[in-house]
């Protein structure tokens, strides 16, 4: 509902019924959303207006509901249209609280740099987990902070440890980091910018049994570095463990990537538009969604439920910077610091008072007044970076 506009969505057969500017239909839909009325809208068929009759016909024909007699012996079956989740967020003293029930990705930025490549992509960490820029000087996250904070998570099957930074090969404790990771029974993903790293580290990381590698190919120089490492026998053997993320800022760069991709390998390939502060037109033409795109997304019931409560993109992620500051999202303020807080405390804090994991379109303007707010994909990092929440042509 938005004002007198209403949308009824059948998540089983993906039928969308949309009604604009009808107070009469909005009144019926409001009743259907209200637990106080038992999620039912009483109608008198004999005296119903033709608009209501048409609505009933649409609902019946799309298998989205039905009419039943109100007689006592005919009490209708009520399907609750909204989820209730027990113990969410968990109370502060929840006895069986365990951080790994909520965490999906724990990302450590092992180093941050101020060199040329990082400064060209200085907002990359805020948009995707890569290329961490530090305007002051080169800095590193001490190894013991990494292992002290995550050793209790060892063996958590749903959790991925991410290691990122400006250039992992420059990390002074890279050898100890790699051998320590071997002992952690966790899935690990390394985020490596190209061309900014020593190619030899890649072959060592690929040998880790539990690892995946995400390469971020930047302009200029990323392609030639990629061509070089793609010749390595170790790389050829392990291509299926590699994601190629091409970071593009313009149509020209997109065309260059398309040209380069003519010889596909077994890697997974992603194109990541990068917002650099000056390419809003590129985003408007290539990233923004139209109303038609949004209606064609046809989310399933689980997505509809989760989008009304949490942000599926941002949920379960925690980021640690080189100074130990911990963030549920790098576009929001720090939750705390590893020197003072355990990972469990940080997860609890985000669940109970954080801004990121539960950030839905119901909370931001103009989406909160839009009929498509639950249809739309969750708020993205791009929107957080720009501070604008409608990458669309709807409102």
350's tokens = 């985000």
Shortest-Cβ-distance residue relative to ligand SF4: 370
Asked if 310 and 357 touch (Cβ cutoff 8 Å), the reply is yes
Based on CB atoms, which residue is closest to ligand SF4, 51 or 394? 394
Least Å from the CB of residue 280 to ligand SF4: 16
CA distance 128 to 161: 15
Based on CB atoms, which residue is closest to ligand SF4, 93 or 292? 292
Least Å from the CB of residue 382 to ligand SF4: 11
Least Å from the CB of residue 294 to ligand SF4: 5
Asked if 357 and 315 touch (Cβ cutoff 8 Å), the reply is yes
Least Å from the CB of residue 378 to ligand SF4: 10
Based on CB atoms, which residue is closest to ligand SF4, 228 or 369? 369
Asked if 285 and 279 touch (Cβ cutoff 8 Å), the reply is no
Least Å from the CB of residue 359 to ligand SF4: 13
Based on CB atoms, which residue is closest to ligand SF4, 144 or 393? 393
CA distance 44 to 53: 10
Based on CB atoms, which residue is closest to ligand SF4, 196 or 374? 374
Based on CB atoms, which residue is closest to ligand SF4, 274 or 372? 372
Least Å from the CB of residue 317 to ligand SF4: 21
Q: Residue 131 — left, alpha, or beta (φ > 0 → left; ψ -120 to 50 → alpha)?
A: left
CA distance 75 to 42: 12
Least Å from the CB of residue 2 to ligand SF4: 9
Give the footprint of ligand SF4 on this chain (CB under 6 A). Answer: 294, 361, 366-367, 370, 372-373, 376, 389-390, 392, 394-395
Based on CB atoms, which residue is closest to ligand SF4, 22 or 390? 390
Based on CB atoms, which residue is closest to ligand SF4, 11 or 337? 11
Least Å from the CB of residue 377 to ligand SF4: 8
Query: Which residue's structure tokens are 């790293």?
Result: 197
Cα atoms in the Cβ-side hemisphere of radius 13 Å centred on 223: 13
């Amino acid at each position: 509902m938005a004002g007198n506009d209403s949308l009824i969505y059948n998540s089983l057969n993906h039928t969308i019924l949309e009604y604009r500017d009808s107070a009469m239909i909005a009144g019926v839909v409001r009743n259907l959303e209200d637990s106080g009325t038992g999620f039912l809208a009483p109608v008198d068929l004999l005296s119903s207006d033709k608009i209501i009759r048409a609505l009933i016909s649409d609902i019946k024909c799309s298998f989205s509901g039905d009419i039943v007699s109100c007689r006592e012996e005919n009490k209708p079956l009520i399907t609750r249209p909204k989820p209730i989740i027990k113990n969410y967020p968990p109370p502060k003293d929840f006895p069986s609280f365990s951080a790994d029930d909520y965490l999906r990705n724990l990302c450590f930025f092992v180093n941050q740099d101020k060199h040329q490549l990082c400064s060209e992509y200085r907002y990359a960490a805020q948009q995707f987990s890569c290329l961490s820029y530090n305007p002051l000087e080169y800095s590193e996250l001490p190894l013991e902070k990494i292992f002290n904070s995550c050793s209790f998570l060892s063996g958590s099957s749903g959790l991925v440890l991410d290691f990122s930074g400006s250039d992992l090969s420059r990390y002074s404790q890279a050898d100890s980091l790699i051998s320590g990771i071997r002992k952690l029974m966790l899935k690990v993903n390394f985020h490596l910018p190209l061309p900014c790293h020593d190619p030899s580290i890649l072959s060592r990381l690929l040998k880790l049994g539990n690892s995946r590698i995400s390469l971020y190919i930047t302009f200029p120089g990323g392609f030639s570095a990629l061509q070089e490492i793609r010749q390595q026998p170790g790389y050829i053997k392990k291509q299926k463990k590699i994601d190629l993320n091409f970071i593009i800022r313009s149509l020209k760069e997109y065309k260059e990537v398309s040209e380069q991709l003519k010889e596909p390998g077994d890697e997974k390939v992603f194109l990541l538009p990068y917002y650099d502060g000056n390419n809003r037109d590129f985003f408007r033409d290539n990233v923004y969604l139209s109303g038609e795109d949004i209606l064609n997304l046809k989310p399933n019931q689980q997505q509809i439920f989760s989008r009304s409560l949490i942000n599926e993109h941002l949920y379960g992620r925690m980021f640690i910077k080189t100074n130990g500051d911990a963030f549920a999202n790098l576009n929001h303020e720090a939750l705390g610091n590893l020197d003072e807080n355990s990972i469990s405390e940080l997860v609890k804090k985000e669940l109970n008072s954080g801004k990121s994991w539960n950030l839905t379109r119901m909370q931001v303007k103009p989406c909160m007044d839009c009929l498509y707010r639950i249809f739309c994909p969750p708020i993205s990092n791009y929107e957080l970076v720009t501070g604008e929440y409608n990458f669309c042509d709807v409102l």
